[in-house]
Amino acid sequence: MEEQKEYTAKDFKSDQYVRWCPGCGDHSIVAVLQRAMATLGVPPHETVVISGIGCSSRLPYYMNAYGFHTIHGRAAAVATGVKTANPDLTVWQISGDGDCLAIGGNHFIHSVRRNVDINVVLMNNKIYGLTKGQYSPTSDRGFVTKSSPYGTVEDPFIPAELVFGARGTFFARSLDVEMSVSQEVLVEAARHKGTSVVELLQNCVIFNNNIHSYVADKEFRADRTVHLRHGEKMIFGKDNNRGLVLDGYKLKAVTIGENG
């Protein structure tokens, strides 16, 4: 039996110049994905990266693996086809919030419903970046953009709810600035048998800077994020003393030991 080779992130890094804006959250995401792939031990020639259209969809160019930069919103269809044609391949689908949830929304929910063994990385910066700042399906109601100068009149999609509604079997969310956590999540997603969806909250420094600062800033990140691990208690906070309770039908963060 052939001994399994140990890989490093460098093995999955291409020689292409990275054409994202300085400071873009995509830089950290591609680095984390390369590290995760190395951890899995799957060789580059058995790895495929599929993308649609958008800033995030440039990612296949920066990977030393098989890749396919497809058309707008169709990454899920192509990724499904690749996996069903050759089930031995490890298939990653890279999409932005616009590419995946607007024109690609129907493909997305049905690929989740079918539960084909692909790994979806959904980069969410709540804006269309490549086409210069229009509102996207995840933009908040009232958000002012070039295509909504008086504020949007729509409520946003919440990716987790779409996945659960389509009976998805794996969903996780992380931050572009939390690289170690994001790597852990991507590895678990790849090991899951079935469609996995990882939403990465990503910052667009040009058109939507600091949109995730309410949770991403170091000042209060620990008090507003929960690292969920199977079998472990859902306790969080910088002092490790915060928990969640039901307040009617909504979740409420509380300090453990206070107010009953």
- Tens digits of residue pLDDT in 39-61: 999 999 999 999 999 999 999 99
pLDDT at 258: 79
Domain ranges of the chain: 9-217
- Tens digits of residue pLDDT in 114-169: 999 999 999 999 999 999 999 999 999 999 999 999 999 999 999 999 999 999 99
Give the neighbor-by-neighbor strand order of the sheet with 171-175: 66-69, 47-51, 90-96, 119-124, 196-201, 171-175
Under 8 Å between Cβ of 243 and 251: no
Give me 161's structure tokens.
């709810």
- Tens digits of residue pLDDT in 72-119: 999 999 999 999 999 999 999 999 999 999 999 999 999 999 999 999
H-only helix segments in 3-74: 26-40
> Which residues on neighbouring strands pair with residue 122, listed in sequence order?
95, 199
Q: Determine the Cα–Cα distance for residues 35 and 32; give it in Å rounded to an integer.
A: 5
pLDDT at 1: 41
pLDDT at 259: 65
pLDDT band at 260 (very low <50, low <70, confident <90, very high): low
Give me 178's structure tokens.
């939390």
At the topology level, CATH places domain 9-217 in Rossmann fold (3.40.50)
Calculate mean pLDDT across residues 249-258. 89
Calculate mean pLDDT across residues 171-177. 97
Q: Determine the Cα–Cα distance for residues 39 and 2; give it in Å rounded to an integer.
A: 18
- Tens digits of residue pLDDT in 2-23: 456 899 999 999 999 999 999 9
